[in-house]
Amino acid sequence: MSDSTTDGVAAQAPVRAYGSNDATAACRAIRIAYLAAKHGVVLPAAVDRIEVLIPSKDAIVEADYRVPGETPLIRGPRITITPAGGPHPTYRLRRSDVLVIALDPDFYRDSVRGALGREAPEIVEQYIVVDPVLHEIGATLCAEFRSRRALGTAYLECWARVVALHLAQTYGRPRPQTHRLPGLPRHKLKEILSFIEEHLADSIQVGDLASIACLSPYHFARLFKREVRQSPHAYITTQRMQLAKKMLSDSNQPLVEVAAFAGFQTQAHFTGVFRRYTGVTPRSYRLGNRASGSHVDSFATHPIQISAAC
Q: For residue 254, give the CATH number of its domain.
A: 1.10.10.60
22-35 pLDDT, tens digit each: 778 889 899 998 88
**For 3-12, 36-45, 167-176, 178-187, which range has the lowest pLDDT when averaged over its residues?**
3-12
Exposed, middle or buried by CB within 10 Å (0-12, 13-18, 19+), for 20? exposed
Q: Are 237 and 262 within 8 A, CB to CB?
A: no
| pLDDT attached to residue 170 | 92
Residue percentage of the chain with pLDDT more than 70:
78
Task: Count Cβ neighbours within 10 Å for each residue of 169-202 and write b for 16 or more, e otherwise.
Answer: eebbeeeeeeeeeeebeeebbeebbeebeeebee
Would you place residue 298 in the very low, low, confident or very high pLDDT band (cuts 50, 70, 90)? very low
Please check whether residue 17 lies inside any domain of the structure. Answer: yes
| pLDDT attached to residue 295 | 47
Exposure of 27 in the CB half-sphere (CA atoms within 13 A): 18
Q: Which of 117, 142, 173 is the last residue of a domain?
A: 173
Q: What three-state secondary structure class fits 54?
A: strand
- Whether the link from the prior residue into 303 is cis, omega within 30° of 0, is no
Q: What is the mean pLDDT of the chain?
A: 79
| pLDDT attached to residue 22 | 76
**For 56-65, 110-119, 293-302, which range has the lowest pLDDT when averaged over its residues?**
293-302
Longest dimension (CA), the chain: 87
CATH code (residue 8): 2.60.120.10
Please check whether residue 299 lies inside any domain of the structure. Answer: no
195 and 152 in a common domain: no
40 and 160 in a common domain: yes
Q: What three-state secondary structure class fits 77?
A: coil
120 and 17 in a common domain: yes
166 and 57 in a common domain: yes
More confident call, 294 vs 48: 48
More confident call, 309 vs 131: 131
163 and 19 in a common domain: yes
- Residue 25 belongs to domain spanning: 2-173
| pLDDT attached to residue 306 | 45
164 and 53 in a common domain: yes
CA 14 to chain centre: 25
| pLDDT attached to residue 260 | 93
DSSP 8-state code for residue 200? T
> Strand locations in the chain, DSSP E?
2-3, 23-26, 30-35, 41-43, 50-55, 60-64, 73-75, 78-82, 90-95, 98-103, 122-123, 126-130, 172-173
Mean pLDDT, residues 185-194 taken together: 90
10 and 141 in a common domain: yes
Please check whether residue 79 lies inside any domain of the structure. Answer: yes
Would you place residue 191 in the very low, low, confident or very high pLDDT band (cuts 50, 70, 90)? very high
Q: What three-state secondary structure class fits 101?
A: strand
282 and 135 in a common domain: no
Q: Report the alpha-carbon distance of residue 81 to residue 236 in Å, rounded.
A: 46
86 and 43 in a common domain: yes
119 and 75 in a common domain: yes
Q: Is the pLDDT of residue 242 over 70?
A: yes
Please check whether residue 302 lies inside any domain of the structure. Answer: no
249 and 114 in a common domain: no
More confident call, 10 vs 93: 93
Instruction: Say how many domains are in the chain.
Output: 2
73-116 pLDDT, tens digit each: 777 788 888 888 766 677 777 777 888 899 999 999 999 988 88
Please check whether residue 258 lies inside any domain of the structure. Answer: yes
| pLDDT attached to residue 296 | 42
85 and 32 in a common domain: yes
Please check whether residue 301 lies inside any domain of the structure. Answer: no
Mean pLDDT, residues 261-272 taken together: 92
| pLDDT attached to residue 310 | 32
Please check whether residue 271 lies inside any domain of the structure. Answer: yes
